[in-house]
Structure 1
Amino acid sequence: MTTPAALTFRSAVDADVPALVGLVESAYRGEASRGGWTTEADYLDGRRTDEAGVREVIEKPDSLLLVVEREGELVACCQLEHRGDHVYFGMFAVRPGLQGAGLGKEILAEAERRAGEDWGAKEMRMTVINVREELIAYYVRRGYRRTGEMSPFPYGDERFGLPRRDDLAFELLVKPL
């Protein structure tokens, strides 16, 4: 059995935008997303992001869109945004066919390391759609704490997708670094 090649990490650049949009869409929406376990297809239709949204993350001050590659091939990405004493973690996407193989755990550890080392952050925060119990459990196993703090889902704002349910909200998860 051969060992998979190591992951490499770099900051996203403008030329990455179309591929990053494709990756994020494939991980969360539509039939392609059902190849992994992070799909939101049962809860949301429409788009997860677009080129303008990805470009905004790349260009925003105190923000980093981390591109994850294996042998030069895009396999994952995540957003890190420095917000005072913490870093917000978002736009986490792993190619559906590669989910469940430990990549997410490795990428999350690298993101946490960078948040602490690069920005001196004391904690990592993220929001997860409240009905995504399996995903929330994944983060809890990695040291994140459910806060019970909810923020409303932006119904009517198609940039976040087209809800298929009327009970969606975002739950804040927090991990000390």
Structure 2
Amino acid sequence: MPTSELTFRTALDADIPGLVELIESAYRGDASRAGWTTEADLLEGQRTDPEGVAAVVGNEAGRLLVVERDGELIACCQLEHRGDHAYFGMFAVRPALQGGGLGKLIIAEAERTVREAWGAREMRMTVIKQREELIAWYERRGYRRTGRLSPFPYGDERFGVPRRDDLEFELLVKPLG
């Protein structure tokens, strides 16, 4: 897929409803099963809400990168400047478009953006450790598992309702040349 078809820009407040719908469709419910990044087997309920997305859009230390093709919102990711590194999160691609190489293009653009905009030397992210297929995808892109775990926010339904009691996040890192 040529990158010329894609437009990258920073999200605006007007994008929030579409971003919530995109993120929910990629991670939760039956619609998410059309793609391979679903968390529906691990979590029920919401993945985010308008307030959560608005907080990322309004964060002065970062940006929510919007990806469009022909004016249609097809993907997004959160980038946050944290000193010498950047945090990558809230990555969502429309389920019907997953598996075609779009994610590789977006993560490469995200890495380029944080190097150029902030001089970030490392990208970090947290992934639910049970998501082995997703972690393997990131490993193929140069990210490495650190073994550093953090707890899942059990009891805070803003992040979903867990279907199991052993969820944890693992920190993945990648040096940016």
Deviating beyond 2 angstroms after TM superposition, the runs of 4 or more aligned structure 1 residues are 2-5
RMSD of aligned Cα (Å): 1.2
* CA apart distance, 1:4: 8.6
- Please list the CA deviations of residues 58-111 of structure 1 after superposition, one character each: whole Å capped at 9, or x if unmatched: 101111000000011110000000001100000000000000000000000000
TM-score of the pair, normalised by structure 2: 0.97
- Please list the CA deviations of residues 41-70 of structure 1 after superposition, one character each: whole Å capped at 9, or x if unmatched: 000000000000000001011110000000
- Please list the CA deviations of residues 90-138 of structure 1 after superposition, one character each: whole Å capped at 9, or x if unmatched: 0000000000000000000000000101000010000000100000000
C-alpha distance in structure 2 between counterparts of 1:3 and 1:137, whole Å: 24
Aligned partner of 1:49 in structure 2 is: 48
Aligned partner of 1:35 in structure 2 is: 34
Aligned partner of 1:156 in structure 2 is: 155
Aligned partner of 1:170 in structure 2 is: 169
Long gaps (5+) in structure 2 = none
TM-score of the pair, normalised by structure 1: 0.97
Report the CA distance shift for 1:32/1:117 in structure 2 as closer, same or farther (over 3 A).
same
- Report if the CA contact (8 A) 1:35-1:97 is conserved: yes
Percent identity between the aligned chains?
73
Secondary structure of 1:25's aligned partner: helix
Aligned partner of 1:146 in structure 2 is: 145
Aligned partner of 1:89 in structure 2 is: 88
- Please list the CA deviations of residues 14-52 of structure 1 after superposition, one character each: whole Å capped at 9, or x if unmatched: 110000000000000000000000000000000000000
Report the CA distance shift for 1:39/1:102 in structure 2 as closer, same or farther (over 3 A).
same
Aligned partner of 1:62 in structure 2 is: 61
The aligned length equals: 176
Aligned partner of 2:113 in structure 1 is: 114
- Report if the CA contact (8 A) 1:5-1:70 is conserved: no
